[in-house]
Amino acid sequence: MNKIFSLIILFLLPAAIVSGQNDPKAISVLDKFSLKASSAPSVSMKFLFVRNDQVQKSIDTVAGSVVLSKDSYRLDLPDNIIWYNGMTSWSFLPAEDEVTVSEPDRKDNSFESRPSMIFNMYKDGYKCRLLEEKNDSYLIDLYPTDIKNEIIRVRLLIAKPSLDLKSFEYKMRDGVVITLTVNEYSIARTPAAGFFEFDPSKHRGVEIIDMR
């Protein structure tokens, strides 16, 4: 698992476990967004991921795509492809021509083992506020109820009336701001059988590192 993938996974992790008070308007929008995404055959996104370290004055940028379906996903980055079928994960590094096979702990409430949780993370551990409503979008801020949390704020931009995700941003206490801008968003795709699994026949000669 490379550095950028690790950052993206960290970006998608839920941050707290205590529920807080919420803006009813924000919750209404998030409930509709969550229901639409969770009930779709899949959610596909092409994105630009930016990690801006304002203390170190450094910026990491990477473009990628992800397809989510319930608790399965495929994440494509320039130097890493990850498949997860709900039980087994395959991490393929084309430059090294190797794939690492593992089985994430299903009891671990994280994106790696339960990717569907990203559409419901707002329900626990955050206070939600509808910051701005325009003709074409909703801007919603989420604040962790745990004051010791390393995250200060999560900001989501959701399209109106389609309820497509346009962007979301994490602002961290250490001066890092992580932004994921969604360039393409679709819930119409029905993934073919085997889409979330590594196919050895398409990568003959690859070294398989089985960590199960």
Q: Using the predicted structure, report yes or no on whether residue 70 has a pLDDT greater than 50.
A: yes
Q: Using the predicted structure, report yes or no on whether residue 12 has a pLDDT greater than 80.
A: no
> What pLDDT is recorded for position 152?
86
The token duo for 154 is: 């999560």
CA 18 to CA 27: how far, in whole Å?
A: 16
pLDDT digits (tens, 9 = 90+) for 87-142: 999 999 999 999 999 998 766 555 555 666 677 777 777 888 999 999 999 999 98
H/E run at residue 203? none
Are 188 and 69 within 8 A, CB to CB? no
Q: How confident is the model at residue 21 (pLDDT cuts 50, 70, 90)?
A: low
List residues bridging with 141 in a β-sheet. 129, 155
Are 140 and 156 within 8 A, CB to CB? yes
Length of the chain: 212
For residue 51, with 0-12 CB atoms within 10 Å meaning exposed, 13-18 middle and 19 or more buried, which class applies? buried
Q: Using the predicted structure, report yes or no on whether residue 209 has a pLDDT greater than 60.
A: yes
List residues bridging with 47 in a β-sheet. 64, 182
pLDDT digits (tens, 9 = 90+) for 166-200: 998 888 888 889 898 999 999 999 999 999 999 99
Q: Using the predicted structure, report yes or no on whether residue 35 has a pLDDT greater than 60.
A: yes
Are 74 and 83 within 8 A, CB to CB? yes
For residue 123, with 0-12 CB atoms within 10 Å meaning exposed, 13-18 middle and 19 or more buried, which class applies? middle
> What pLDDT is recorded for position 8?
54
Residues ≥6 apart with Cβ < 8 Å to 88: 101, 102, 103, 197, 212
